[in-house]
């Protein structure tokens, strides 16, 4: 929808160059569309460009010369652009989900506002309970879980590569993650456990928060994929890889797609190794939708195990807005919320079909996850969280419209 928003300004700038239109005409067009949008007369439609333009042109006379362009076409692009500005379907996925009713926490997108004395007293009592009672207990449990993860995996890593080592490694990982989940007061319901990911495959899931890892690893052990870090995270990564074959990359290696693909293939080809856990969206989305899956993990040629995760926002906002909150700030917000309630659905294993490329396979898996989790299935790239729309997307819309005009003009000349 961002494409149409830019098309509006481009369109009106072109109108100024036409001799048959003046500034007043353009301003009237804008005013009418803004009024219609604000007053609710314009409703978002999912029809194609061809159908909507055809509907607008029915009552308009065709121009005698100059192709099949009519002034009524401006209203389509104007409406689409204003709809995008008022309520687009992309940027709203990168802000916290709004609640229908207040949950006695600070509103996700609005600060606390005074309503009544009784409600203010209840809110103040909730702050005392969450910050003075729950938060210290949760922080203590989290420290215990992380410490035991480092100590336990380091100790298991000293054992020879026998079967008991891998059994102990999975036991330590699951135990530590469950302690950390208790530190978040996590209440998790797992559905269809018969479809749990198996060794030699890749588990893909929608991504709302870094806590997604804790949610999934509480019910099973996975091999992680990621970049090598320093500091506390680096200590945890080095301890984990001693007891379990995780896939860590250096920063320079992450840019080499062939190297990344090769290491992932080597891992999944070993049926004794744990399934790899990947979040193909590449960024956190606000628990309302699933955005475009990167095709890398779908080019491996192995079994894909889709998992859908859906949080209940009434008890706490699980979405991590990395552009607004640091990791420490986010974890503090989670530990001072009421609880972390979510549902996890294990979907049946999926394989790439004959004649299906990696992008089509990724979209099919994404649609299955969105349908199961009750999420909106979007085609947009989550990278728009920090980047601009690609020029190729804009060109596609421009070519689409120009082809309509040229095609209609050619057909009329032939007649």
Question: Which is higher by pLDDT, 409 or 114?
Answer: 114
Highest mean pLDDT: which of 62-71, 325-334, 337-346? 337-346
* Residue 357, helix vs strand vs coil: coil
pLDDT at 29 over 70: no
Question: Which is higher by pLDDT, 42 or 321?
Answer: 321
**How large is the average pLDDT for residues 102-131?**
74
Confidence of residue 59 (pLDDT cuts 50, 70, 90): low
Predicted pLDDT of residue 25: 47
Token output for 8 = 């509006």
- Residue 342 pairs in a beta bridge with 188, 311
CA distances from 84 to 6, 35, 369, 393 (A): 10, 15, 26, 15
Predicted pLDDT of residue 163: 85
- Residue 224 pairs in a beta bridge with 277
Prediction pTM value: 0.74
- Mean pLDDT of all residues belonging to the chain: 78
Confidence of residue 187 (pLDDT cuts 50, 70, 90): very high
**Residue 20's CB: how many other CB atoms inside 10 A?**
7
Quote the distance between the C-alpha of residue 163 and its chain's center: 38
Contact 289, 376 (CB under 8 A): yes
Predicted pLDDT of residue 190: 96
Quote the distance between the C-alpha of residue 264 and its chain's center: 23
Question: Which is higher by pLDDT, 388 or 278?
Answer: 278
Nearby residues of 74 by Cβ (< 8 Å), 6 or more positions away: 11, 12, 15, 29
pLDDT at 208 over 60: yes
pLDDT at 86 over 90: no
Predicted pLDDT of residue 328: 87
Confidence of residue 35 (pLDDT cuts 50, 70, 90): very low
Of 276, 182, 283, which Cα lies nearest the Cα of 220?
Answer: 276
pLDDT at 372 over 50: yes
Predicted pLDDT of residue 345: 97
How far is 164 from 20, CA to CA, in rounded Å? 83
Contact 131, 336 (CB under 8 A): yes
Report pLDDT digits (tens) over 221-263. Answer: 999 888 877 777 888 888 888 888 888 887 666 667 788 888 8
Predicted pLDDT of residue 361: 94
Highest mean pLDDT: which of 110-119, 227-236, 399-408? 227-236
How far is 100 from 109, CA to CA, in rounded Å? 12
Burial class of residue 202, CB neighbours in 10 A (0-12, 13-18, 19+)? buried
Quote the distance between the C-alpha of residue 213 and its chain's center: 15
């Amino acid at each position: 929808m961002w494409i149409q928003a830019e098309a509006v300004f481009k369109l009106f700038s072109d109108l100024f160059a036409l001799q048959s239109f003046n500034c007043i005409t353009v301003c009237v067009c804008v005013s009418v569309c803004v009024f219609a949008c604000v007053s609710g007369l314009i409703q978002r439609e999912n029809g194609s460009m061809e159908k909507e333009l055809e509907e607008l042109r029915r009552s308009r006379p065709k121009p005698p010369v100059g192709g099949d362009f009519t002034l009524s076409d401006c209203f389509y692009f104007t409406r689409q652009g204003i709809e995008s500005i008022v309520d687009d379907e992309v940027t709203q996925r990168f802000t916290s989900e709004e609640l229908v009713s207040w949950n006695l926490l600070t509103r996700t997108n609005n600060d606390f506002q005074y309503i009544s004395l009784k409600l203010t007293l209840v809110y103040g009592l909730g702050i005392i309970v969450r910050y003075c009672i729950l938060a210290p207990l949760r922080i203590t449990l989290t420290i215990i879980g992380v410490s035991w993860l480092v100590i336990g995996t380091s100790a298991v890593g000293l054992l020879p590569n026998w079967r008991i080592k891998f059994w102990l490694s999975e036991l330590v990982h699951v135990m530590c993650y469950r302690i950390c989940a208790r530190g978040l007061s996590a209440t998790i319901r797992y559905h269809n456990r018969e479809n749990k990911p198996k060794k030699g495959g890749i588990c893909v899931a929608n991504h709302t928060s870094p806590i997604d890892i804790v949610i999934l690893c509480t019910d099973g052990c996975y091999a992680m994929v990621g970049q090598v870090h320093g500091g506390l995270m680096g200590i945890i990564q080095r301890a984990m890889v001693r007891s379990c074959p995780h896939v860590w990359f250096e920063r320079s290696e992450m840019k080499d797609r062939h190297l990344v693909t090769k290491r992932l293939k080597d891992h999944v080809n070993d049926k004794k190794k744990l399934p790899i856990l990947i979040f193909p969206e590449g960024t956190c989305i606000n628990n309302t939708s699933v955005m475009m899956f990167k095709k890398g993990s779908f080019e491996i040629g192995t079994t894909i195990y889709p998992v859908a995760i859906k949080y209940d926002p009434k008890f706490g906002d699980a979405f991590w807005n990395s552009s607004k909150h640091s990791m420490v700030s986010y974890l503090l917000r989670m530990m001072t919320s009421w609880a972390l309630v979510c549902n996890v659905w294990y979907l049946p294993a999926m394989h790439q079909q004959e004649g299906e490329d990696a992008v089509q396979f990724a979209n099919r898996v994404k649609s299955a996850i969105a349908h199961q989790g009750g999420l909106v299935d979007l085609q947009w790239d989550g990278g728009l969280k920090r980047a601009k729309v690609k020029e190729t997307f804009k060109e596609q819309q421009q070519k689409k419209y120009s082809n309509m005009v040229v095609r209609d003009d050619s057909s009329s000349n032939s007649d």
